[in-house]
């Protein structure tokens, strides 16, 4: 009986059915939208000027090239879900209307987390070392 209980507990721990929490990380998707970016937008700007400030839109109307949607979605690992949306409308290739949804005023902290999990690119011990290319000697 003791062997059966011990085997069942060990099997449950190995199979992932344990009381230990699962590692989760924040999941950010879409265009990063900051207050600084949105405050630079002014009606009358060209599409290229808007693209320089905001980047390429996440969604562009399939039937209306004059509507650009910038959407940011953050699913915090152990917290809430945050969504921001900026919809821009153009007339004659000039910015005509700016619609905001979500909490644009509060910028999202996307700093890297330390601790267990995958390493962040550029954080390894040899990442700042010069890259050695092939060495060629002239033939004589």
Dihedral (CA of 105, 88, 37, 56) sign: positive
| The predicted structure's pLDDT at residue 15 | 62
DSSP structure string for 115-135? SSSPPPTT-STTTTSPPP---
Distance CA 129, CA 126 (A): 5
pLDDT tens figures, 64-79: 788 999 888 877 777 7
- Give 40's DSSP letter: T
Backbone angles phi, psi at 76, to 5 degrees: -75, 135
**Closest alpha carbon to 50 in 83, 103, 96:** 96
pLDDT tens figures, 32-45: 888 888 889 899 99
Are 57 and 69 within 8 A, CB to CB?
yes
Backbone angles phi, psi at 94, to 5 degrees: -125, 140
Per the listing, tokens 């400030």 go with: 53
Per-chain mean pLDDT for the chain: 74
Are 98 and 43 within 8 A, CB to CB?
yes
Per the listing, tokens 């970016």 go with: 37
pTM value is: 0.58
pLDDT tens figures, 100-135: 887 777 766 666 555 555 555 555 555 554 544 444
């Amino acid at each position: 009986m003791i062997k059966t209980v011990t085997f069942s507990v060990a099997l449950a721990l190995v199979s992932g059915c344990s009381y230990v929490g699962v590692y989760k990380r924040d999941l950010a998707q879409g265009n990063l939208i900051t207050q600084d970016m949105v405050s630079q937008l002014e009606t009358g700007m060209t599409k290229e000027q808007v693209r320089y400030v905001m980047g390429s839109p996440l969604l562009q109307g399939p039937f209306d090239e004059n509507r650009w949607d910038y959407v940011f979605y953050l699913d915090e690992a152990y917290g809430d879900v945050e969504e921001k949306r900026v919809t821009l409308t153009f007339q004659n290739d000039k910015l005509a209307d700016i619609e905001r949804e979500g909490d644009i005023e509060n910028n999202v902290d996307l700093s890297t987390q330390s601790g267990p999990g995958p390493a962040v690119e550029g954080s390894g011990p040899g990442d700042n070392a010069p890259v050695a290319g092939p060495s060629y000697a002239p033939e004589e």
